[in-house]
């Protein structure tokens, strides 16, 4: 590898160091095997202290030929021992197969045997065992898993020894507190028994709008242990968005914090339910400062039962445990029930693809209002591992220090957090060597950001992971049995099959994903929509007569069995890891008096990565676009979600529409792409 000294200096090395590296790298020219070459470079040269432009340079030079030919270039390779000792490696050995592809084909061809193996691997606790592990007698669209059984999934969350640490909790200043499984179980019991003392009955729904704390996790588990269902509402939602979700689900009570404190700023939360006079609240306090409560509302400490014996109410597999929300394309959120079996999917993805063992410490900055909150609870507890949760803002240095201090072994993120860390060099000089793997979900990843992230922990893999609230986990993922390529997926999730189809319905290398049911964890009903109409109606059978289910993601298959995500093909978008409908944004912003028509789209940068929100507007008359953007941003912050940021507003004479008057969002994306290309060309000149 002959890299000029001046080039190494340009990337940040001192001249003496660059001259030394130049000589040492030249000796590697004899290594023709790319995995050996890259592993040698990462083990002998690249550490987090080396300027990242040097990492990028050596990565590009190592894979120069592959990059020109469009061949995926791994930045991490598993050793034979890592493959053999992984849960997937052991499963392959047990089933007598030599590749992951063979194991995946077995898992989707034998769903009943696979479901039984999963329950055995995870130690799922049944009060009454299943008579069938996968019953499709009513059709694959209405598959019934673990039929005939009785269980409460919370029992499976407390299989670890009582003294083992269940949660490491950090406050905003990184003071850590540990909670054992016994302590968490006791707090869960006090919640469950407290609900019983309020005469709450199995099947009732109880809402939760809280930050991710130990109390919130105990509340989540306690509600489910009581045989009830948790209605999860993100604390970032506006009062109007919260009211919509409460109206759909009609919970009997709500657990809510009085206020949220971020960056030393106080954001009111309890007051968002002021208009919900028929909903009784159990209120937790962020500080010792106490504001008045509505008549009938209950203080948290007064609610907790003195009974510390946990009794989990046995339920049928299809009984609700959680109601989560996902924005579709109609402007109204879909209410998606998770039943007693959906958590098995979450825990199994963690077991197989994230290779979670009892020694692991899992950290994923999230909230119970998003699917990764419940996912994290089940991924850690059912696998007898430890959760690490922090009240620090995830994009800050404080949070990065928490990762080091709590000795996290699996760190999950949304790509926009990684981008923010990289831009501000937040993890500089931190020791992240305990991290065994990262995971990324919620948005399309930027390959450069993910290479940077891998380099911060001595080149550990990023498990790209994509699914949806209605899948209970992922349908496409990374895996520790295959090399990890920054920004790319390497496998179809075990037990989950799907096709890529073009606009004509033919199999393609780049197109829309369609699921092939049955799949463990896949939803079978919605509270406020016709499930069949949303996912199956009008979808033609697959090439072999398969029943297909629409999902809406665009995926590209690459050489070597790798995949790249290209965002959504429908009117939904992911902003900051949160799924939202274009229609929701348009319905809100069309109320602005200057606007005649408006279309919202998400646009990915040319190099890939998290999407930005771009608005196309047809104006009544001349209006300052910078003022309009400020005013519309305030509307979004007040009435929708303050986490959604407008990247730009483009004035247009007329929105492009189809003959049926539907906005042609693909045409708008093409217009954005042309503008980006023009701007880039002007920048270069």
User: In whole numbers, what is the pLDDT of the chain averaged over residues?
Assistant: 93
Q: What is the DSSP letter of 50?
A: S
For residue 43, tell me if it sits in a domain: yes
For residue 126, tell me if it sits in a domain: no
More confident: 329 or 58: 58
Please indicate, yes or no, whether residues 96 and 226 belong to a single structural domain of this protein: no
More confident: 24 or 679: 24
Please indicate, yes or no, whether residues 534 and 606 belong to a single structural domain of this protein: no
What pLDDT shows up at residue 357? Answer: 98
The stretch 82-91 carries a mean pLDDT of 97
Please indicate, yes or no, whether residues 229 and 372 belong to a single structural domain of this protein: yes
What pLDDT shows up at residue 292? Answer: 86
Task: Please determine, for residue 209, whether its predicted confidence score (pLDDT) is greater than 60.
Answer: yes
What pLDDT shows up at residue 583? Answer: 76
Please indicate, yes or no, whether residues 553 and 590 belong to a single structural domain of this protein: no
For residue 130, tell me if it sits in a domain: no
User: Would you place residue 452 in the very low, low, confident or very high pLDDT band (cuts 50, 70, 90)?
Assistant: very high
Alpha helices by DSSP H, listed for 372-414, are 372-381, 397-405
Please indicate, yes or no, whether residues 549 and 500 belong to a single structural domain of this protein: yes
Please indicate, yes or no, whether residues 175 and 292 belong to a single structural domain of this protein: yes
- Minimal CA–CA distance to 55: which of 449, 461, 462? 449
Task: Please determine, for residue 661, whether its predicted confidence score (pLDDT) is greater than 70.
Answer: no
Please indicate, yes or no, whether residues 46 and 160 belong to a single structural domain of this protein: no
Q: φ and ψ at 207, to 5 degrees? A: -85, 155
| Domain stops at, among 18, 42, 68 | 68
What pLDDT shows up at residue 241? Answer: 87
For residue 136, tell me if it sits in a domain: no
| Domain stops at, among 528, 544, 570 | 570
What pLDDT shows up at residue 457? Answer: 97
For the whole model, what pTM was predicted? Answer: 0.88
Alpha helices by DSSP H, listed for 353-474, are 372-381, 397-405, 415-424, 447-455
What pLDDT shows up at residue 265? Answer: 82
- Which of 184-188, 351-355, 418-422 bottoms out in mean pLDDT, i.e. has the lowest? 418-422
For residue 145, tell me if it sits in a domain: no
Task: Please determine, for residue 113, whether its predicted confidence score (pLDDT) is greater than 50.
Answer: yes
CATH assignment at residue 622: 3.30.300.30
CATH assignment at residue 301: 3.40.50.12780
For residue 18, tell me if it sits in a domain: yes
What pLDDT shows up at residue 659? Answer: 58
Q: What is the pLDDT of residues 380-408, one digit of tens each?
A: 999 999 999 999 999 999 999 999 999 99
What pLDDT shows up at residue 660? Answer: 54
User: Would you place residue 658 in the very low, low, confident or very high pLDDT band (cuts 50, 70, 90)?
Assistant: low
Please indicate, yes or no, whether residues 459 and 492 belong to a single structural domain of this protein: yes
Please indicate, yes or no, whether residues 239 and 325 belong to a single structural domain of this protein: yes
For residue 265, tell me if it sits in a domain: yes
Q: What is the DSSP letter of 153?
A: G
What pLDDT shows up at residue 590? Answer: 87
What pLDDT shows up at residue 64? Answer: 93
Residues 605, 680: contact at Cβ < 8 Å?
Answer: no
User: Would you place residue 329 in the very low, low, confident or very high pLDDT band (cuts 50, 70, 90)?
Assistant: very low
Please indicate, yes or no, whether residues 677 and 596 belong to a single structural domain of this protein: yes
CB-based contacts of 315, cutoff 8 Å, min separation 6: 150, 151, 152, 202, 227, 340
Rg (CA), the chain: 25
Q: What is the pLDDT of residues 264-280, one digit of tens each?
A: 788 899 999 988 889 99
Residues 61, 1: contact at Cβ < 8 Å?
Answer: yes
Please indicate, yes or no, whether residues 413 and 552 belong to a single structural domain of this protein: yes
What pLDDT shows up at residue 578? Answer: 72
Count of structural domains, the chain: 4
Q: What percent of the chain has pLDDT over 90?
A: 78
Which residues form the domain of 611? 571-684
Q: What is the pLDDT of residues 212-234, one digit of tens each?
A: 999 999 999 999 999 999 999 99
For residue 129, tell me if it sits in a domain: no
Please indicate, yes or no, whether residues 367 and 236 belong to a single structural domain of this protein: yes
More confident: 282 or 504: 282
- Cβ burial 21-31 (10 Å sphere, 16+ → b, else e): bbeebeebeeb
User: Would you place residue 552 in the very low, low, confident or very high pLDDT band (cuts 50, 70, 90)?
Assistant: confident
Q: What is the pLDDT of residues 279-297, one digit of tens each?
A: 999 999 988 877 789 999 9
């Amino acid at each position: 590898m002959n890299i000029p000294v001046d080039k190494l200096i340009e990337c940040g090395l001192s001249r003496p160091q660059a001259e030394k590296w130049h000589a040492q790298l030249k000796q590697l020219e004899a290594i023709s095997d790319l995995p050996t070459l890259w592993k040698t470079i990462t083990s002998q040269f690249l550490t987090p202290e080396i300027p990242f432009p040097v990492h990028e340079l050596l990565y590009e030079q190592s894979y120069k030929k592959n990059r020109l030919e469009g061949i995926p270039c791994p930045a991490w390779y598993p050793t034979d021992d890592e493959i053999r000792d992984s849960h997937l490696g052991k499963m392959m050995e047990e089933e007598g197969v030599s590749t992951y592809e063979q194991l995946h084909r077995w898992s989707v061809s034998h769903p009943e045997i696979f479901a039984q193996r999963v329950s055995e691997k995870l130690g799922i606790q049944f009060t009454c065992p299943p008579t069938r592990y996968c019953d499709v007698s009513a059709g694959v669209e209405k598959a019934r898993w673990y039929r005939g059984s009785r269980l409460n999934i919370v029992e499976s969350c407390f299989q670890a020894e009582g003294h083992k640490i269940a949660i490491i909790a950090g406050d905003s200043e990184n003071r850590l507190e540990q909670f054992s499984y016994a302590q968490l179980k006791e707090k869960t019991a006090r919640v469950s028994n407290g609900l019983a003392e309020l005469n709450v009955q199995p099947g009732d729904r109880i809402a939760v709008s809280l930050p991710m704390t130990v109390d919130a996790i105990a509340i989540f588990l306690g509600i489910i242990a009581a045989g009830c269902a948790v209605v999860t509402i993100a604390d970032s939602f506006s009062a109007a968005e919260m009211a919509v979700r409460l109206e759909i689900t009609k919970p009997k009570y709500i657990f809510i914090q009085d206020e949220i404190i971020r960056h030393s700023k106080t954001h009111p939360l309890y007051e968002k339910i002021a208009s919900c006079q028929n909903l009784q609240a159990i209120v937790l306090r962020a500080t010792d400062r106490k504001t008045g409560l509505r008549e009938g509302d209950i203080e948290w400490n007064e609610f907790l039962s003195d009974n510390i014996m946990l009794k989990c109410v046995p339920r049928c597999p299809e009984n609700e445990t959680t109601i989560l929300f996902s924005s579709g394309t109609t402007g109204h959120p879909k209410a998606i029930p998770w039943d007693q079996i959906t958590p098995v999917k979450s825990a199994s993805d963690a077991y197989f693809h994230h290779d979670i063992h009892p020694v692991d410490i899992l950290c994923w900055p999230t909230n119970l209002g998003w699917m990764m909150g419940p996912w994290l609870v089940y991924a850690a507890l059912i696998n007898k591992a430890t959760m690490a949760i922090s009240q620090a803002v995830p994009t800050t240095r404080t949070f990065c220090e928490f990762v080091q201090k709590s000795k996290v072994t699996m760190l999950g993120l949304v790509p926009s957090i990684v981008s923010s860390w990289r831009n501000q060099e937040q993890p500089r000089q931190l020791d992240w060597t305990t991290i065994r793997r990262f995971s990324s979900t919620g948005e399309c990843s930027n390959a450069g950001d993910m290479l940077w992230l891998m380099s911060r922990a001595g080149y550990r893999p990023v498990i790209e992971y994509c699914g949806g609230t209605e899948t209970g986990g992922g349908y496409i993922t990374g895996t520790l049995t295959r090399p990890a390529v920054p920004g790319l997926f390497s496998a179809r999730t075990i037990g989950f099959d799907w096709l890529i189809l073009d606009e004509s319905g033919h199999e393609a290398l780049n197109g829309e994903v369609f699921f092939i049911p049955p799949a463990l964890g896949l939803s079978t009903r919605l509270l406020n929509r016709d499930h069949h109409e949303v996912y199956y109606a009008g979808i033609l059978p697959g090439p072999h007569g398969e029943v297909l289910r629409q999902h809406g993601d665009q995926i590209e298959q690459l050489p070597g069995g790798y995949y790249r995500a290209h965002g959504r093909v429908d009117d939904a978008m992911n902003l900051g890891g949160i799924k939202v409908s274009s229609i929701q944004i348009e319905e809100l912003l069309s109320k602005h008096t200057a606007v005649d028509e408006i279309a919202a789209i998400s646009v990915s940068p040319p190099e890939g990565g998290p999407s930005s929100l771009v608005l196309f507007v047809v104006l009544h008359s001349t209006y300052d676009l910078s003022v309009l953007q400020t005013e519309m941003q305030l509307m979004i912050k007040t009435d929708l979600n303050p986490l959604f940021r407008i990247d730009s507003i483009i004035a247009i004479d007329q929105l492009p529409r189809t003959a049926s008057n539907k906005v042609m969002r693909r045409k708008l994306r093409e217009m954005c792409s042309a503008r980006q290309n023009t701007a880039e060309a002007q920048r270069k000149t």
